[in-house]
Every structure is written in C-alpha cells, then in structure tokens.
Amino acid sequence: MTGKASPESIFTWVCEILKREFQISDAEISPTAHLIDDLDLDSIDAIDLSVRLEEKTGLSFKEEDLKAIRTIQDVVDFIAERLD
Amino acid sequence: MRFTVACYRVFGRNVALALIHLVVAYFFLTDRAGRRASLAYLRRVYATQAGRSALGRAPGWHTSFLHYRAFALSIADRVELWLGRAGDFHFESHGSEICDRFAAEGRGYIVLGSHLGSFDALRLLAQRQQRCVNVLMFTRHAQQINRLFRELSPDAEARVIEIAPDSVRAIFEIRDRLRAGELIAVLGDRMEPGDRGRASQVQLLGDSVSLPQAPFLIAGLLGCPVVFMTALRSRARRYEVHVELLAERVELPRHEREKRVGELLAAYAGRLEHHCVRAPYQWFNFYDYWADASSAEGVE
C-alpha cells in the first residue's frame, strides 16, 4: 500500500479484514470497539491481524505496538501515523 | 555437549562411546525417577501388539537398561553428525518425496519432530535439498546455540529461532524463512515452560497427554504445510527416516481453531505412537510423561 490513505479509508479496510477474516459482524464494529473485550479476539487473533495488516501496509508491528493497540480506532491511528 | 565433542576429537569414536556408556550407566543406576519412568513407558508399549513383538520380553531392568543404552548410542551418533561425519552415515528415507516436492515448488514447511529417534538427521535431509533449517526453541540462549552450531559445523545451514508464545517478531521471522523455501523444525511432543498452557489433550499409548498447540497455530497463521518426521536408528550409523504429511496447508477458522488443532495434534500423536511401538527403545523422554493423566485430570 503506497501513498496517502485517509483515516476513513483505513478504517474501512480494517473493518473489512475484521469482517472477512475474523467473522466480526457489522453490529459489533465501531471505532471504539475494544478488540479483546468487545470483539473477543485473543492473542493468536492479534498476531493473525498484525500479519494481515503488515501484508497490506508493509508496516511492521512490534510487541509493544500490539500492546498499545486496544480499539479499532487505535489500529487505524497506528497505521495512519506511520503511512504519512 | 562441548565436553562430549572434545572427547570425540581427542579419543575417537570407540573411547568416546565407552565414556558415554559409563555416563549413561551411571545415570541408569542413580536416576531412580528416570528408571521408573522408563519402565512405566515400556509397560505401555508392551500393552500394544506391535510393542510386545518389538520388545520381545516383558519390561524389566534389562529392557530399561536397553532403553538407556539406546539413548547413549543416539548421543554418540549425534556428536558424529555434528562433527560433520555425515558421509559415514546411511539414511534410508521413506516419504521424503514430499519434501522434494515442496523444494521443487519453492515452498517452506514446518517439520514436526519429537524425542523419538534422532531429530538431527533432519539436517541431512535439508542439506541434501540445499535448504536451511531453522529450529524453533523456547530458549533465551538462541545466540549461544547459534554460535555453537557454527563452531561445530561451519557449513551446516542451521539456525535457531527463539520463540515466545505471543511473540510477533518470531512469527514474522518464521514467515520470511518459509517464503524463502526454508524448513522450520520444531519438537512437538513436550510442553515447554513458555507455552503457557496452550495445549490440546490427545491420546498416546493408552492415556491422554498435553501437547503444545504452538506448531499448528503458527502453521495456521502462515498457511503452510506440516510434516511429521522421525529418524530411527536401525543399527550403527544407519537410520530410517520417516516423513509423513500431516497437513498440506493448515487452515484454522477462528471458531473451530481448538477443534482443528486438536485433530491435527491427534494425527501427530497417532504417527508418533505408530513409530514408537516399532522402535520402543528410541523414545527419549525419561520422565513421567503421562503425569497429567494420573494426577491432574481435567486440569488445563
């Protein structure tokens, strides 16, 4: 993924990945949805998500990054900041 | 390890072999818990039909000593392999076409080994295909081990990747290695301290044991094949290598993950048992392997 992406478009495809790969329903998705508490992702899912996001964005995720990410919005912000 | 290697270099095979036997005899005589574990294991083997004919006699001191002795012989062979004397060894492989196919396709794969037989023979297989082997270990000593590897056999294409269960960094490294068509080797028959209880209960030799899910979880994350491998010593410097496909591509849908990993681990345990009862003395887990089954029923 190259060039600038708006936070809105990042939000859209992060949600697409969550729906397609993690069977999260539309109703569960919102920027403030907590990945673990609300979406029921576990540590393996978190790694799975980071592998997929890395493939899409070319960004690399570190353990500290994953620990800091709690909500869908955190994921979007993380990517938006680094793709700038 | 360094001591054994030094013995070999200084005294040659026969003296080193005698020394190794002495050490093993010492352990056999003094290690009561190990001996008891060996006997309990041999009884499980004897309870199976194939195991009974492989052992030929009811388990006792004698069979237990043979069990320890097999361990000594395997260490001796290992040292020789490490010293780069692979040319003196004969490997008869069964099923390694799978590896040839993956190599031709440029696909990396996970090799799931065990403490049955020799896992070192794997390096030979990899060398033949000119592939690098990456050994996954729950260790903080990866760097030292890598250094020892290089010292012992500078040409060998082997390295250790240190894994921690939820570690992202290791996953990316494993993925890159697989993409380069390399092998990822990991032992699947023991829970390691770092596994933090991600385990499945499966049947092995009559009772349930906990096996680590990590190898299949990794394969599921990266969508790669997994093969079972064991190399059994038939006589001095001769090994039969068995390679069997466990999964062409591991896929773990989120809501079925536990179930699927459990099935894959059961298949692995099935292959392990199949080979174990045919070469019973080469099972190198000298501790109460079925402890879970006898004490902690139902505990995670």
- pLDDT higher at B294 or B243: B243
Say yes or no to pLDDT of B296 above 50: no
φ, ψ of residue B135 in degrees (nearest 5) = -95, 125
Provide the residue ranges of all domains of chain A, joining segments of one domain with +: 7-83
Structure tokens that stand for B36 in this block: 């008891």
Structure tokens that stand for B64 in this block: 């237990």
Interface touch A62/B175, C-beta < 8 Å = no
> How many other C-beta atoms are found inside a 10 Å radius of the C-beta of residue A19?
14
Residue B21, pLDDT score: 82
> Each residue of B56-115: pLDDT tens digit?
999 999 999 999 999 988 888 888 877 777 778 888 889 989 998 998 999 999 999 999
Residue A42, pLDDT score: 84
Residue B24, pLDDT score: 84
- pLDDT higher at B146 or B58: B58
**B59, B42 Cβ separation under 8 angstroms:** yes
Provide the residue ranges of all domains of chain B, joining segments of one domain with +: 1-82, 89-281
Interface touch A44/B171, C-beta < 8 Å = no
Residue B299, pLDDT score: 37
- pLDDT higher at B295 or A56: A56
| Beta strands B90-94 and B199-204, pairing class | unpaired
**B212, B199 Cβ separation under 8 angstroms:** yes
The arithmetic mean of pLDDT across residues B253-271, rounded, is 95
Q: Tell me how close the Cα of A69 comes to any Cα of chain B, in angstroms.
A: 14
As its CATH architecture, domain A7-83 has: Orthogonal Bundle (1.10)
Among chain B residues, CA nearest to A45: B254
Q: Which amino acid is at B215?
A: P
Which whole-number Å values give the CA distances from A71 to A31, A39, A57, A74, B168, in the listed order? 7, 9, 18, 5, 18
The arithmetic mean of pLDDT across residues B164-177, rounded, is 79
Interface test with A, best of B167, B168, B260 (most A CBs within 10 A): B168
Interface touch A23/B257, C-beta < 8 Å = no
Q: Look up the pTM and report it.
A: 0.86
Confidence of residue B13 (pLDDT cuts 50, 70, 90): confident
B172 touches chain A (CB under 8 A): yes
Helices of type H across A1-84: 7-22, 43-57, 63-68, 72-83
> Each residue of B195-234: pLDDT tens digit?
556 899 999 999 999 999 989 999 999 999 999 999 999 9
Find the radius of gyration of the CA atoms of chain A.
Answer: 12
Interface touch A51/B221, C-beta < 8 Å = yes
Interface test with B, best of A47, A55, A63 (most B CBs within 10 A): A47
Cα–Cα distance, B51 to B280 (Å, whole number): 7
